Amino acid sequence: DIQMTQSPSSLSASVGDRVTITCRASQSISSYLNWYQQKPGKAPKLLIYAASSLQAGVPSRFSGSGSGTDFTLTISSLQPEDFATYYCQQSSSSPYTFGQGTKLEIK
C-alpha cells in the first residue's frame, strides 16, 4: 500500500498568514493527489484534485502543487473559516490512502 505522510500534524497560525502543508507519498503517484478540508462534525470537502486543480467554488487563496512523491497545499491568506483539518489522499492505486491529517488552529 502507498503510505501518505503529512507535515506538520498540527499548525497554529493567525488570520492573514500564509500557510503551507506538505504531503509525501511512499512511492511516485504522478499527480494523483487530492486535498480535502474537514471541519468538526462535518464531512470532508474537496479542495484540490489532480494535485493542482481548484475545485469549483473553492476560494482562490487555496492552491496545490507537486508531482511524484512531494506535494503542497498552500493557503495564501488565512481566513477565519479556514481553521479546520486538512487531508491529502492518493488515488493512484487501491487502497486509496489518506494522510494522517493536519489540524490548523488559530494562534
Question: Which residues bind to another protein, rule: CB under 8 A?
Answer: 30-32, 34, 36, 38, 42-46, 49-50, 53, 55, 87, 89, 91, 94-101
Residue of 30, 38, 27 lying closest to 4 (CA atoms)? 27
CB atoms inside a 10 Å sphere around CB 46: 15
Give me the least distance between CB of 16 and another protein, in Å please: 28
Nearer to another protein, 17 or 45 (CB): 45
Give me the least distance between CB of 42 and another protein, in Å please: 8
First-residue to last-residue Cα distance in the chain: 36
